[in-house]
Amino acid sequence: MSSKRRITRAFKNAKILPLNKSSKYIMFSDCHRGDNSFADDFARNRNIFNYAISQYFTEDYTYIELGDGDELWENKFDTIFQENKDVYLLLKKFHDRNRLHFIWGNHDMVYKNPKNINKHLAYYFEDALGKELELMPNASFSESILLKNEQTEQCLFLIHGHQADWFNYNFWRLSRFLVRFLWRPLQILGIKDPTSPAQNFRELIKVEKRIEKWIKNNQNQTVITGHTHRPRFPQPNEVPFFNDGSCVHPRCITGLEIENYQITLIKWHLVTQENGTMKIIKTILEGPKNIEEYQ
């Protein structure tokens, strides 16, 4: 199946969420939550991520994770949970308020199967109490989401983006094997995985061009992805192709906010204050832009 057909199928089968003046969404992707080892890129940004989503929870945002939240190519979920229990308990707060939606990517593609969602995320064992407690039963996972304005019919199409990456979509099991048993040990030594578009600029450009082509062939449908880890924020006269970046940048996490019918590319990062203390702050990278300008 071609990338065109994969993206089109995802568009037709997308879960629909409301988009209006009162909508408040925060989108992150590519957290790659791992085992807190030297190969875990998320570990250095975990405190930043936790602080950021805590702020968004307080401010009544709905959290949408655009794929590759869990690094299930390199790790077993039990290990990931034990090292990131605080993260999952924060996500549970969104889930309990019906403000949490996951999109599966290539690194957590096992979540296509509801049995795996239930196995990993429905319950967890609380050592202090010696019993199982609810985590996120019936967690909402899908391949794609449409943020749709029912009045204007304007839609924002959300996917992970690996639909335009034939190797990491069709042969994800092979990719998982290579990453877990070949590239992960080499990553500790500083050698990058050439199959990942996030670390292979040539592959990154190919993926982006395929998505851009689909957008142009589908009436300039606005698309928001992750996968490549490269933030994108087009101007209204450009191809409406956004990317929220990732949560594994060396010194920050990036994401996309939607509020007051405006979209903004932001980053959360650490700064050193004059008194020598460290502080986590949010910086606007692009926007805000009125979503209607991309119609």
Domain ranges within the chain, ordered by starting residue: 3-294
List residues bridging with 101 in a β-sheet: 64
Residue for token digits 């959360």?
268
Please tell me the predicted confidence (pLDDT) of residue 3.
86
User: What whole-number distance in Å separates Cα of residue 260 and Cα of residue 295?
Assistant: 16
CA atoms within 13 A on the CB side of 292: 6
Please tell me the predicted confidence (pLDDT) of residue 37.
86
Please tell me the predicted confidence (pLDDT) of residue 15.
97
- Bin 180: left if φ > 0, else alpha if -120 < ψ < 50, else beta: alpha
Give the torsion sign (CA, 253, 258, 263, 264).
negative
Please tell me the predicted confidence (pLDDT) of residue 176.
63
CA atoms within 13 A on the CB side of 109: 18
- Phi then psi for residue 114, to 5 deg, are -55, -30
Query: How many other CB atoms sit within 10 Å of the CB of residue 125?
Result: 13
Q: What is the DSSP string of the chain?
A: --HHHHHHHHHHTPEEEE-STT-EEEEE----B--SSTT-SSGGGHHHHHHHHHHHHHTTPEEEEES--B-TTTS-HHHHHHHSHHHHHHHHHHHHTT-EEEE--STTGGGGSHHHHHHHHSEEEETTTTEEEES-TT--EESEEEEE-TTT--EEEEE-SGGG-HHHHHTHHHHHHHIIIIIHHHHHTT---TT-TTT-HHHHHHHHHHHHHHHHTTTT-EEEE-SS---B---TTS--EEE---S-SSSEEEEEEEETTEEEEEEEEEEE-TTS-EEEEEEEEEEEEEGGGG-
User: What whole-number distance in Å separates Cα of residue 123 and Cα of residue 68?
Assistant: 20
Please tell me the predicted confidence (pLDDT) of residue 11.
97
- Phi then psi for residue 159, to 5 deg, are -140, 165
Please tell me the predicted confidence (pLDDT) of residue 121.
97
Please tell me the predicted confidence (pLDDT) of residue 146.
98
Contact 184, 38 (CB under 8 A): no
Domain 3-294 falls under CATH 3.40.50.2300: no
Burial status of residue 263 (CB atoms within 10 A of its CB: 0-12, 13-18, 19 or more):
buried
Q: Could you tell me the mean pLDDT of each successive run of 10 residues in the chain, 295 residues long?
A: 90 97 97 90 96 98 97 92 97 98 94 95 91 94 96 96 76 60 55 56 88 96 96 96 96 97 98 93 97 92
pLDDT tens digit sequence for 141-182: 999 999 999 899 999 999 999 999 766 666 556 666 566 555
Give the global pTM: 0.91
